[in-house]
Amino acid sequence: MKKTIGLFAAGALVLALSACGGAAPAGSAGGAKSLDQLVVGFAQVGAESGWRTANTKDIQASFKEANIKLQFSDAQQKQENQIKAIRSYIQQKVDYIAFSPVVQTGWDAVLNEAKAANIPVILTDRAVDSKDTSLYKTFLGSDFIAEGKKAGDWLVADAKSASGPVNVIQLEGTTGSAPAIDRAKGFADAIATNPNIKVVASQTGDFTRAGGKQVAEALLKSHPEATVIYAHNDDMGLGAIEAIEAAGKVPGKDIKIITVDAVHDGMQALADGKINFIVECSPLLGKQLIDIITKLNAGQTVPARIVTEEGTFTPEQAKAALPNRKY
Ligand code: AHR
């Protein structure tokens, strides 16, 4: 039902865009536009996680505050929907296109179409693997390899007190997405320093709570030797908590849990001792995106890569941070 409404909304958006005629590209004949004359198309991944919901809210609020018109579409985690949305933005001659690519590959054709239409593209949150970096102005978002490494470094330090092997179940994000690829790599690099730590099973839970629960349930059964779950986001870690409890075990004790994001529900589980460590991934990209658009619109250049600053949380740090947490 939710999916049907989402698709209908996406269709309605395409129709609405077709009907509105669009705006002239910023800086085209007639001179640069003021911010309140701009139209920006944003093709969001979906609503798969607490992180994504916080990211969407932040982007929408930032555009409202900056008084820039935002055309927003939700691709329901499907690349073909994102490509359709981007094509509709091109057709309508929006001034800028921003998007968070659901997967890394397969964007060259549509990005070349945007380039041919002279519409600057900004990548937010996730990267593409296009060799031609002139297809986008900048990539704003986290260093996912560093996030995976922070998760692995914590486990290496924690495993110093372990008497036997440390067997890890990895709950991967969406297959082919930048955060799933990079968080796995960063983690693998970090744990390679300790031959006692092994990833005994690794499977995608698609960044959702339901996916995390389902995969954790199955993998905990087939790998009773596992004592750690590394989930590529909080939502899958929260799903894993349900699976661990259903199996009569204690999350955070019998099975240690490491996650990435630090959204409210994850931080609460960390403060409650059900998660052991969280690596932060900030969804608050809206203001930085506005800043990039403002600069580009003024004819300035922006760095090709803008990395979000983020930290890590232990249970004690989560307790202290929770009262002022924005998401
Ligand atoms: O791309 C960022 C990731 O996507 C977040 O870590 C995850 O929660 C989301 O779905």
DSSP 130-174: -S-GGGSSEEEE--HHHHHHHHHHHHHHHGGG-SS-EEEEEEE-S
Instruction: Tell me whether residue 87 is exposed, middle or buried, using C-beta atoms within 10 angstroms of its C-beta: 0 to 12, 13 to 18, 19 or more.
Output: middle
278 lines ligand 1 (CB under 6 A): no
Give the residue, by CA position, lying nearest to ligand 1 atom 3. Answer: 179
CA of 87 to the centre of ligand 1 (A): 24
Which of 281, 285, 327 to mutate for ligand 1's pocket (most ligand atoms within 8 Å of CB)?
281
Which class for 65: exposed (0-12), middle (13-18), buried (19 or more C-beta within 10 A)? exposed
Atom from ligand 1 closest to the CA of residue 260: 6
How far from each other are the two terminal CA atoms of the chain, in whole angstroms? Answer: 27
Q: What is the mean pLDDT of each run of 10 residues along the chain (327 residues)?
A: 36 33 41 90 98 98 98 98 98 98 98 98 97 97 98 97 94 98 98 97 98 98 98 98 98 98 98 98 98 97 96 98 94
What pLDDT shows up at residue 163? 86
Q: CA 114, CA 122: separation in Å to the nearest integer? A: 11
- Test site for ligand 1: of 45, 123, 206, 280, most ligand atoms within 8 A of the Cβ: 45
Which ligand 1 atom lies nearest to the CA of residue 177? 1
Q: What is the pLDDT of residue 31?
A: 55
174 lines ligand 1 (CB under 6 A): no
What CA–CA distances, in Å, run from 25 to 84, 246, 264, 301? Answer: 20, 55, 39, 17
Are 144 and 191 in contact by the 8 Å Cβ rule? The answer is: no
Q: Which residue has the tokens 């269709």?
A: 11
**Residues 280, 110: Cα–Cα separation, whole Å:** 32
Find out whether 275 and 269 touch, Cβ atoms under 8 Å. yes
- For the record, the structure tokens of 10 come out as 């996406």
Neighbours of 163 (CB within 10 A): 5
Q: Report whether residue 183 contacts ligand 1, using a CB cutoff of 6 Å.
A: no
CB 86 within 8 A of CB 120: no
**Between the CA of residue 295 and those of 39, 40, 121, 306, what are the distances in Å?**
15, 14, 14, 14
Mutate-to-test residue for ligand 1 from 103, 125, 142, highest number of ligand atoms within 8 A of CB: 125
In angstroms, the CA 255 to CA 226 distance is 7
> How much is the pLDDT for 3?
36
Q: Is 147 in the pocket of ligand 1 (CB under 6 A)?
A: no
